[in-house]
Amino acid sequence: MSKSFFSKLGEDKLVELAKAAADEAIKEAHAAGLPVTGTVNGVISRVYPDGRVQPLTEFKERQKSVEQTLASWALEGFVPDAEYRALLDRYIDGSMTIEQISAATDVKLRLRARE
């Protein structure tokens, strides 16, 4: 029986090729402004183009919190606009805190009140 293509390459060469392909894919994703998911210090995390590292458990917890809040608001008849949803997305990805969203919303409301 003949050796497979991968067997002929050898494990070291396969690892080298896989690492080069992964590095190129990460570079392309980050150039497009997208995060990548991988293991950082043994923890599955999202790595953002700006270098931020967010453990996936934290991302999922924030996402669940926002989903629950939106469901509660929907029951009360409140549906946030696209601009506010974008702020919530930034909270989920860890680039904004709830306090920053609140401050941004307060500024927007004050500006509207002046109009």
Contacts for 33 with CB less than 8 Å, ≥ 6 apart: 49
Q: Strand ranges (DSSP E) for 42-105? A: 43-47, 53-55
Residue 46: CB atoms within 10 Å = 19
Average pLDDT, the chain: 88
37 forms bridges with which residues in the sheet?
Answer: 46
Predicted confidence (pLDDT) per residue in 25-50, tens digit: 999 999 999 999 988 888 889 999 99
Using the predicted structure, report yes or no on whether residue 1 has a pLDDT greater than 70: no
Predicted confidence (pLDDT) per residue in 54-79, tens digit: 898 988 999 999 999 999 999 999 99
Backbone phi and psi for residue 33, each to the nearest 5 degrees, phi listed first: 80, 15
Pair of tokens at residue 24: 């190129």
- Please report the pLDDT score of residue 39 as a whole number: 86
Written as one letter, the residue type at 32 is A
In 3-state terms, what secondary structure has residue 46?
strand
Point out the least confidently predicted range of 17-26, 36-45, 105-114.
105-114
